[in-house]
């Protein structure tokens, strides 16, 4: 590619997912012409994944939303009129004030999906607006159960030590596929680097992923039984005296109570529950305990059942009792270089905060006194449907393709139809956007300024995400929050985004004097900051940052809330054992959430680079199971639960148990030019369950370990539609 002599090469941080790879963007005149990895970037070191490399496809896609759009005609018919930002703001403010006057500000709810640059800013806006009801699927289903547990147990969220001089001898990869997902700022290349340097793997996964292929022990777990496995491993380690006695004696609270609790989890019983051979459970437990340095790579798969929080707690005890907490090559606190954006909880009146939906039932998700409380999604949706405990009349969604992202999509659809005012902000006209009254055009990651502290919460590195250019009439979500706040006279605490970024970076300078006077402009000059790791920080403090000053195996905070302070296993509410009659009709166990490296959740289905690599969703089926149903590799397959039916393309593989099938997440079809965009066809959340029982701590619903059945689909037209579409033709040329 030939560039002009005026071409600029600008360093930035890629945010095509939750990662943080360093990127160099070449800009020729007013056009970005190339994206390449930054060899000097501290986390990625000259590498990027396909999602980031496809960013120019996204930036210049003809399907991008280019201006605010007001619904014309009935909701969901796909008829729109372009309007100005001032008119759009007027519509939003008019509807918010109408709801405030008639029902109270708590009847306005704000929801988001992906938690990237705007995550904390949206909560800040909600609190400045005065509503306690902001929500996001991940606060109960992805990552925040882990974060909440880490605060309760250790006082800090923890990450794998990929960053120091000691390589972890063993990494226990549990419910995660980090070389594909690279979540939470722990980008996939660091896992690969650790393996190359000698880290060995223990992998807990129903599927034989590439990491399971090379693992010392692959624990092929029955979906939804993670807590039982963790309790069984703890029993082996405790009963065989493989735990770190010095650490346990000095730094843990409740160890003897745990010793008693785990006796109910013999390897024989755990094997029967999990379908994992006893000898594999014992071997993995011994290898982890005797590793010398060991860490945990945890993913959201453990957070997708109503036994979520106890599973997370039990798993997180493993590095602590084996002496791997905050030690080189272990499970570490990190350097916490920069705080998140202040969410301004103090703006909420106490009597309003207590009205947060779910606060009474799920105190560690929605309760007052939590550092980052959010409303409980099913309770918000129930308030829309029934008006109880009070009505929710307006939903404002940011980065949220809710018809794909929430469990039981048909119920979500009914909620979106019923609410009085529905507004969203996104990059494209998604199925969710098509349901709205007002749609706002969002800036892509190349078009906005932000800061990234990675890995999340640990924050060894701070990176600048820069506005390289801006096309169309789009805005960053954070800009919208600032501008709406100014027009509504809210106490937002900042006139523009840079004030907020500078306030965050000021604290970096206060924590680390070498960065005194740091602001966003200075960070952009340096591109990124990094400092050497420090370990055993609890010894320097003389305590862990918990109420007892110790690793709280017995949670004093949970005890105060009347919750069981120790974990215990609960069978999934829908499973071969808890609902045997249902299992006769739906004999297979369904796990969901399979990812492609070319997409981030439901994003990217209209991008030629991405779709040319992964054109269709895949369901993984064992050959034995496929044979019983007359299914061959490449056939389209119906997958059905008692909530609905979808279709995906068969991958017949021995890498999955014959009793289990796995579906990919996030599929819709932009080439379907109807207003539905095919969201009902392959969307796995048609199959998932948003009904109770919920996790008693976090309110988590059941996204995995469901019961399903499969059959051939001989009438699928999805491939033909794709081939005949503009994007299909473009992909064919690229291939």
Nearest to 136 by CA among 156, 116, 150, 106: 116
Nearest to 673 by CA among 626, 726, 629: 726
Q: In the CATH hierarchy, which top-level class contains the domain 154-335+543-560?
A: alpha beta
How does pLDDT run across 476-526, given as a tens digit for each residue? 999 999 999 999 999 999 999 999 999 999 999 999 999 999 999 999 999
- For the chain, the farthest-separated pair of C-alpha atoms sits apart, in whole angstroms, at 72
Nearest to 473 by CA among 75, 84, 137, 107: 84
Rounded to whole angstroms, the Cα distance separating 114 from 129 reads 21
Rounded to whole angstroms, the Cα distance separating 442 from 445 reads 10
Residue 33 has a pLDDT of 95
Q: In the CATH hierarchy, which top-level class contains the domain 8-59?
A: mainly beta
Residue 231 has a pLDDT of 98
Assess whether pLDDT exceeds 90 at residue 593: no
Q: What are phi and psi of 207, to 5 degrees?
A: -110, 150
Residue 609 has a pLDDT of 87
Assess whether pLDDT exceeds 60 at residue 735: no
How does pLDDT run across 538-579, given as a tens digit for each residue? 999 999 999 999 999 999 999 999 999 999 999 999 999 999
Residue 227 has a pLDDT of 98
Would you call 19 helix, strand, or coil by DSSP?
coil
Alpha helix (H) residue ranges in 527-579: 537-541, 556-560
Q: What is the 3-state secondary structure (H, E, C) of 59-97?
A: HCCCCECCCCEEECCCCCCCCEEECCHHHHHHHHHHHHH
Residue 372 has a pLDDT of 86
Would you call 218 helix, strand, or coil by DSSP?
strand
Rounded to whole angstroms, the Cα distance separating 584 from 504 reads 56
pLDDT, averaged across the chain: 94
Strand ordering across the sheet containing 450-454: 450-454, 461-465, 528-530
- Name the pLDDT band for 684 (thresholds 50, 70, 90): very high
Nearest to 109 by CA among 129, 91, 89, 93: 129
CA 700, distance to chain mean position in Å, is 14
CB 718 within 8 A of CB 637: no
How does pLDDT run across 698-721, given as a tens digit for each residue? 999 999 999 999 999 999 999 999
Residue 1 has a pLDDT of 57
Residue 3 has a pLDDT of 65
The pLDDT of 328-355, averaged and rounded, is 93
Assess whether pLDDT exceeds 70 at residue 420: yes
Rounded to whole angstroms, the Cα distance separating 227 from 232 reads 9
First to last CA, the chain: 20
Q: Alpha-carbon dihedral of residues 607, 401, 177, 184, nearest 10 degrees? A: 100
- Residues 6+ positions from 570 with CB-CB distance below 8 Å: 227, 306, 307, 310
Would you call 630 helix, strand, or coil by DSSP?
coil
Select the more confidently predicted residue: 115 or 414: 414
Domain spanning 69-137+337-456+461-530 has what CATH number? Answer: 3.40.50.740
DSSP 654: T
| Cβ neighbour number for residue 479 with a 10 Å cutoff | 18
Residue 147 has a pLDDT of 92
Domain spanning 580-734 has what CATH number? Answer: 2.40.40.20
Assess whether pLDDT exceeds 90 at residue 267: yes
> 438-441 and 69-71: which strand pairing?
antiparallel
Domain limits of the chain? 8-59, 69-137+337-456+461-530, 154-335+543-560, 580-734
- Name the pLDDT band for 202 (thresholds 50, 70, 90): very high
How does pLDDT run across 454-478, given as a tens digit for each residue? 888 888 889 999 999 999 999 999 9
- Name the pLDDT band for 174 (thresholds 50, 70, 90): very high
Q: Write the CA distances from 699 to 110, 303, 483, integer angstroms.
A: 18, 11, 34
Least confident of 101-110, 158-167, 178-187, 602-611: 178-187
Rounded to whole angstroms, the Cα distance separating 419 from 439 reads 15
Nearest to 398 by CA among 115, 23, 89, 697: 115
Nearest to 409 by CA among 687, 15, 67: 687
Residue 2 has a pLDDT of 61
Structure tokens that stand for 524 in this block: 């952009």
Nearest to 654 by CA among 631, 684, 630, 625: 625
Structure tokens that stand for 622 in this block: 């064992």
The pLDDT of 303-331, averaged and rounded, is 97
């Amino acid at each position: 590619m030939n560039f002009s002599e005026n071409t600029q090469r600008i360093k930035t941080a890629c945010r095509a997912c939750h990662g943080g790879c360093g990127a160099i963007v070449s800009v020729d005149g007013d056009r970005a012409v190339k994206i390449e990895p930054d060899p000097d970037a501290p986390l990625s070191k000259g590498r990027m994944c396909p999602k980031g490399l496809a960013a120019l496809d996204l930036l210049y896609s003809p399907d991008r939303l280019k201006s605010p759009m007001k619904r014309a005609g009935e909701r969901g018919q796909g008829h729109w009129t372009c309007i100005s930002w001032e008119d759009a703001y007027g519509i939003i403010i008019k509807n918010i004030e109408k709801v405030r006057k008639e029902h109270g500000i708590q009847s306005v709810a704000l929801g988001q999906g992906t938690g990237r640059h705007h995550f904390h800013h949206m909560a800040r806006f909600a609190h400045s607006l005065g509503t306690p009801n902001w929500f996001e699927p991940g606060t109960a289903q992805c990552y925040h159960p882990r974060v909440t547990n880490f605060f309760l147990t250790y006082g800090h969220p923890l990450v794998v030590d990929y960053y120091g001089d000691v390589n972890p001898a063993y990494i226990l990869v549990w419910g995660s596929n980090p070389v594909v997902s690279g979540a939470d700022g722990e980008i996939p290349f660091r896992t690969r680097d650790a393996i190359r340097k000698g880290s060995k793997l223990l992998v807990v996964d129903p599927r034989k992923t590439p990491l399971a292929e090379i693992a010392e022990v692959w624990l092929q777990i029955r979906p939804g039984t993670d807590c039982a496995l963790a309790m069984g491993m703890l029993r082996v380690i405790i009963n065989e005296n493989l735990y770190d006695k010095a650490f346990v004696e000095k730094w843990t609270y409740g160890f003897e109570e745990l010793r008693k609790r785990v006796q109910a989890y013999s390897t024989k019983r755990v094997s029967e529950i999990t379908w994992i051979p006893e000898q594999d459970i014992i071997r993995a437990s011994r290898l982890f305990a005797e590793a010398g340095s060991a860490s945990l790579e945890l993913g959201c798969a453990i957070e997708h059942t109503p036994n979520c929080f106890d599973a997370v707690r039990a798993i997180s005890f493993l590095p602590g009792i084996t002496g791997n907490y905050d030690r080189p090559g272990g499970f570490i606190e990190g350097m916490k270089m920069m705080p998140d954006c202040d969410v301004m909880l103090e703006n909420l009146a106490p009597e309003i905060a207590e009205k947060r939906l779910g606060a009474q039932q799920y105190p560690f998700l929605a309760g007052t006194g939590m550092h980052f409380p959010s409303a409980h999604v099913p309770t918000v949706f129930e308030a829309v449907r029934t008006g109880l405990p009070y009505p929710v009349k307006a939903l404002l969604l940011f980065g949220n393709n809710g018809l794909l992202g929430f469990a039981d999509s048909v119920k979500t659809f009914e909620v979106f139809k019923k609410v009085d005012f529905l507004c969203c902000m996104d990059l494209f006209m998604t199925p969710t956007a098509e349901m709205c009254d007002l749609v706002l055009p969002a800036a892509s990651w190349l078009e906005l300024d932000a800061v990234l502290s990675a890995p999340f919460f640990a924050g060894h590195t701070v990176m600048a995400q820069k506005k390289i250019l801006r096309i169309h009439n789009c805005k960053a979500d954070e800009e919208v929050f600032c501008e709406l706040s100014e027009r509504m006279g809210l106490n937002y605490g900042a006139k523009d985004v840079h004030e907020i970024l500078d306030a965050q970076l000021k604290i970096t300078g206060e924590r680390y004097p070498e960065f005194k006077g740091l602001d966003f402009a200075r960070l952009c000059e340096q591109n990124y900051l990094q400092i050497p790791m420090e370990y055993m920080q609890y010894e320097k403090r003389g305590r862990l940052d918990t109420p007892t000053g110790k690793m709280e195996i017995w949670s004093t905070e949970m005890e105060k809330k009347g919750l069981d302070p120790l974990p215990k296993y609960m069978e999934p509410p829908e499973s071969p054992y808890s609902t045997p009659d249902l299992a006769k009709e739906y004999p297979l166990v369904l796990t969901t959430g399979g990812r492609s490296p070319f997409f981030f959740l439901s994003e990217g289905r209209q991008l030629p680079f991405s779709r040319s690599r992964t054109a269709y969703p895949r369901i993984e089926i064992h050959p034995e199971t496929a044979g019983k149903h007359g299914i061959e590799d490449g056939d389209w397959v119906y997958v059905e639960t008692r909530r609905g039916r979808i279709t995906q393309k068969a991958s017949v593989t021995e890498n999955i148990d014959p009793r289990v099938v796995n579906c990919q997440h996030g599929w819709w079809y932009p080439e379907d030019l109807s207003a539905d965009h095919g969201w009902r066809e392959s969307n796995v959340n048609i199959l998932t369950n948003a009904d109770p029982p919920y996790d008693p701590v976090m309110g988590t619903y059941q996204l995995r370990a469901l019961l399903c059945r499969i059959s051939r689909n001989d009438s699928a037209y999805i491939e033909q539609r794709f081939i005949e579409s503009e994007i299909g033709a473009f992909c064919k040329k690229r291939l």
